[in-house]
Chain A
């Protein structure tokens, strides 16, 4: 497979996500949760908790972590890894912020 990094898609302005909140981006292959921290960092994870598939975008964001709304696993936003005694990983996707807009790398997000 070719690996290309040039498919940055503008998915919307930062202010469309509340600070310490998240929203989803639907793609043909999967739903992606885009998180905004209190200090305006953005992260993108597949919107499925590694435990039982809970929608991470519905969790409580604290620092660079999110608490899954179903059984409260705490997932790191930067790499999708479960913290503490739990193990598992939600897939993370490249995302960047430029001039107040959020870009997702679709070449990665659309890959299987």
Chain B
């Protein structure tokens, strides 16, 4: 041996025989094979194995022997004293010894702590029951496999990397498996909601049930687990419960020995702890404030530590950027770096709904800072490399998303690019329509619009993602004759129009924002202020009771149920049904105005009272006091029914033909609270003198001797327009049903922010009339759907907020009242 050192060998002791320890020793023996006498204490009764391969072992894809890293012969060859199954219980830094469970005392010159981490156990009742396991070592895998042999139900708590791998493994072993995840989306730390949506679909396809937003409140059972109870009261039967909610650095021994421990055992860039003779490596450490839970960083640490121990001068370890891959067979998923969300200047998104592919590259100053790939991860390593190298990608920005194989192409203008394709190139993947078929249909059948082309060829009729290409073909083929110029995409995030998006939401049963964005090929990761509120509305309307409203996709008025005013204060309008009020209500309003020093009290154009200038933080208290007097929100801030204006009708007026006030009250009670594309105002007049000005409302009713004339499509705002007569009905019941059915038709057909009159102009009065006045079954179905959605939404938002819901909207996060040194000077 040329490098044989003359110095006596030093005693190196290693605590923990896991992946980090194994890697340090491998690197160390390469550099300085003769320098140390090594003793390893491992709590596990076995040699070092590849822990990340436990998932394939659980799934049955591998055996333990396949995943051993160092077998007994390796330890013998390196003259290592391996103490399997002999955990260390104390470190005596003064004496430089460790004591093991058997009482043996062992001296060291240098000590490496590589004790990994411990799974976190959530402290719910029943967590100690037999049948509750974690997922950390081979014993856990054996316990799961034994349980799986008996079949039955498994519940995995935690929808992160480990939990999903455990669930997939258990399902592969024939257990009926559910995953309970606290957050709204799976793997939320590594994935954005879009990728998580695809992942959830793929996992569910394996028959695994996913419950997100679900909090475990107890594990039930007398002498073994029987069920898991969630805090919403649901119980899930369970013969096995796997807790995979996270890990915590295992630094207890180090702490007891007086080493500096924060979240993990603190080390410097050379993996040295606060004691010069003690090093630490792997998951148990905290380096520059960072703890890691993956192997790549510990390999980097191991290299530095081995070099340090070998006496080499090396640059220190500077921390790691990590990437994640999910090891569930058939699911391709990659995530790395920072996938800061949704800025169209800083990210490139590719969605291919048909192949189930989602790719998102996040850029900052033309450098890759993050990547999420789902469905096609072939380029993961390449993006990760660009990220780590901090490479400038300006030159390949246009083709970056296509991956490494596509670099060097020249970008074309989109119409020329499509025109240049050969006839047999597939344009519409969903329906397998080639370019030739499309251009031929255009010329042979004289098609001039996208709709006609869709009807004839099915091109772009499924997910719509190829719409821009299909349109480009229309332009290229027809030139100026293309009539589709007026087609307006919903916003710059997507090529589809409002109507198309709505249609797809229903026909493809898309029930969440990420589902819509993925399946319809959104070009941004989280939309913009114009498409998000629209999507939120469309989903709410299509799936009442099922879709969960997204407050963050609503304008502030609807988020806090009051109108924002020019100075940032709010105004509040209580409902006065049909314009009626009482002395008590008026007194309550006066009291509120006094108590909260509300500067302006005004009667609105819709016969309601507006309290203007309320401070945001006062809103919950204002509502609580108004609620106490029986007043509820007038929804004067909402895209919803605002008011039903009335005249006095037969009750008082000498001309009145019907009880117009009474009908107004009934209409308001029937319609209020339903979300609509834009604000909706109604009026009922007791005779054609029309004192309630019903002919400039979205829907107006003029009472006549023989019954009720229903008018529609008036406006008295930016545009002034008199209503058209929709039809005549004889009874009050009919009037209510017909109007509610009209509302529902409007809710289902109009684009977001489209007022009733615009919608009627768009679809044509005749069509609306036919649907409401002539198609009796259709009208009744509309009425039923309206009532069904009302059941889901009709509650007073003020009462909910006053009771504390979404309190965060109204209170500052913090109030800092400090005397700063500068101020004290």
Using CB atoms and an 8 Å cutoff, list the residues of chain A in contact with chain B: 1-2, 4, 7, 9, 11-12, 16-21, 23-28, 31, 34, 37-39, 41, 52-55, 58-65, 67, 69-70, 72, 74, 98-99, 102, 104, 106-107, 109-111
Contact = CB atoms under 8 A, between A and B. Distances in A.
Contacts of A1: 822
B820 A7 contact: yes
B526 A20 contact: yes
Nearest to A48: B568
B556 A52 contact: no
B808 A11 contact: no
A20 B525 CA distance: 13
Contact of A63 (B526, B533, B553): B526
Contacts of A106: 816, 818, 820
B340 A60 contact: no
Nearest to A61: B552
Given A54-B568, A69-B555, A110-B822, A62 B816 contact: no
A20 B526 CA distance: 10
Given A61-B552, A64-B343, A25 B812 contact: yes
Contacts of A110: 818, 820, 822-823
Nearest to A109: B816
A62 B528 contact: yes
A65 B808 contact: no
Given A28-B817, A111-B822, A64 B346 contact: yes
A38 B192 contact: yes
Contacts, number: 131
Given A26-B814, A67-B529, A111-B822, 14 more contacts: A17-B808, A20-B552, A23-B812, A25-B815, A26-B812, A38-B526, A39-B340, A41-B341, A60-B554, A63-B524, A64-B343, A72-B529, A98-B289, A104-B816
B386 to A, nearest CB: 19
B694 to A, nearest CB: 33
A39 B341 contact: yes
Interface string B805-825: 000100111111110111100
A59 to B, nearest CB: 7
Interface residues of B, number: 46
B822 A107 contact: yes
15 contacts: A16-B808, A18-B552, A21-B551, A25-B815, A27-B816, A27-B817, A37-B341, A38-B525, A39-B192, A39-B341, A54-B568, A62-B527, A63-B342, A69-B556, A107-B820
B552 A60 contact: yes
A58 B532 contact: no
Interface in B310-349: 338-344, 346-347
B808 A23 contact: yes
A104 B820 CA distance: 14
B566 interface: yes
A27 B817 CA distance: 6
B636 interface: no
Interface string B336-369: 0011111110110000000000000000000000
Contacts of B525: 38, 63
A2 B527 CA distance: 43
B340 A2 contact: no
Contacts of A59: 529, 556
Interface of B: 192-193, 263, 289, 338-344, 346-347, 524-529, 532-533, 551-556, 559-560, 564, 566-568, 808, 811-818, 820-823
Nearest to B567: A53
Nearest to B338: A39
B341 A38 contact: yes
Given A38-B192, A62-B529, A24 B812 contact: yes
Contacts of B568: 53-55, 58
A52 B816 CA distance: 25
Contact of A38 (B338, B342, B554): B342
A9 B530 CA distance: 35
A25 B815 CA distance: 6
Contacts of B344: 63
A17 B807 CA distance: 11
Contacts of B560: 58
A105 B820 CA distance: 12
B682 to A, nearest CB: 28
A100 to B, nearest CB: 11
Nearest to A104: B816
Contacts of B343: 63-65
A30 B815 CA distance: 11
Contacts of A64: 340-343, 346
A18 B192 contact: no
B721 to A, nearest CB: 26
A67 to B, nearest CB: 4
Contacts of B814: 9, 11-12, 25-26
Sort A-B residue pairs by CB-CB distance and give the 5 closest, nearest first: A63-B342, A63-B343, A23-B813, A58-B556, A20-B552
Contacts of B556: 58-60, 69
Contacts of B346: 63-64
B297 to A, nearest CB: 18
A11 B338 CA distance: 24
A60 B529 contact: yes
Contact of B813 (A17, A28, A62): A17
B560 to A, nearest CB: 8
Contacts of B566: 52, 70
Contacts of B551: 18, 21
Nearest to A39: B341
A34 B815 CA distance: 13
A82 to B, nearest CB: 14
A62 B822 contact: no
B529 A26 contact: no
A38 B551 CA distance: 13
B815 A60 contact: no
**Which of B263, B524, B528 has most chain A Cβ within 10 Å?**
B528
Which of B193, B263, B808: most chain A Cβ within 10 A? B808
Contacts of A26: 812, 814-816
A5 to B, nearest CB: 13
